[in-house]
Amino acid sequence: MHEIDLRRIDLNLLVVFERLMAERSVSRAAAALSRTQSAVSHALARLREQLGDPLLVKSGSRMRASPRAEELLIEVRPILNALRRALSAPQPFDAARSTRTFSIALPDLTMTLFARLAAALLADAPRVGIDWSARNAEAAAAVAEGLLDCALVPAAAAVPEGVVGETAGQLRWATFLRRGHPAAQRLGKAAWRAFPHVAVRLGDRVPSPVQAAASAGTGTARRRIAVWVPHFSAVAPLLARTDLIATLPLIAMADTIESHDLVAVAPPFPVPPMPHRLVWNRRLEREPGLVWLREHLRRLIPEVIDAS
């Protein structure tokens, strides 16, 4: 395969090539680029020589592209667009007119936060889209790769290079059970150990503060987890119909505790709050739309998480 010496390629030649592929005419391309027809023809001749391909050939009133030219356009156009974005001055974010979709990773337990966030964003920007991602374990990596705009992650979780963030609230814990539960009036360590638990399967990347606190507070005894569920939304219906109990962040049950007639009591041992961080891609830190998004999160997180 013949290797091209990039030092010999003038970026302007690729700009001319892109316009020629759009116009299929030297005269129209020259007019669009504010150049002479001679300059555009010369640029095409240089590209033909350097790439060893005719690229565009006159055919009637239009120019016909070679297969190599069609392939080259597919590769070159995204690169040129990326350069234009990188070199352009940031454009103000017009919330009222924007149709942009924002991608956010929030833990499953923060339904209350997401509902408040969606309401606030849509009030300011009624045409935007909001994509709540479930990439909990891989959220920081997705932010680094540009697949997510921002994410709320445990402060203890490692983040890859290029991802930055700030402290964003602490999750406080409570034990939940149905009203009328035998242990509802007084939940001691013995009852906490004796009654079966429901737990949410979140993976093992971040150690469970509940398990660590329980081990310290109850000696060698461990809670007996009778039911595992994949989502926090499954917990309240189970607690309402059984004698199961669950020790979860307060925010996880904020919107369901009353509707399912549950009560929240303090765990019989201290469970340290679980700090979280709001993280984003350093490269996009000053992008106006993402600044707008983070400002909404900065306002809502204390109102929702810290108040729970």
Domains of the chain: 6-87 (1.10.10.10), 101-170+274-306 (3.40.190.10), 173-265 (3.40.190.10)
Q: How confident is the model at residue 1 (pLDDT cuts 50, 70, 90)?
A: very low
pLDDT digits (tens, 9 = 90+) for 24-38: 999 999 999 999 999
pLDDT digits (tens, 9 = 90+) for 232-264: 999 999 999 999 999 999 999 988 999 999 999
Q: Which residues contact 52 (CB under 8 A, 6 or more apart)?
A: 2
Residue 86 or residue 120, greater confidence? 120
Length of the chain, in residues: 308
Lowest mean pLDDT among 30-44, 48-62, 201-215: 201-215
CA distance 168 to 76: 41
DSSP 4-50: P-GGG--HHHHHHHHHHHHH--HHHHHHHHT--HHHHHHHHHHHHHH
Q: Please answer whether residues 30 and 39 qualify as being in contact, where contact means their C-beta atoms are separated by less than 8 angstroms.
A: yes
pLDDT of residue 79: 83
pLDDT over 70 for what percent of the chain? 91
Mean of the per-residue pLDDT values of the chain: 87
Q: How confident is the model at residue 185 (pLDDT cuts 50, 70, 90)?
A: confident
Residue 76 has pLDDT above 80, yes or no: yes
Lowest mean pLDDT among 94-98, 112-116, 201-205, 255-259: 201-205
pLDDT over 90 for what percent of the chain? 56
Instruction: Give pTM, 2 decimals.
Output: 0.66
Residue 209 has pLDDT above 70, yes or no: yes
pLDDT of residue 6: 58
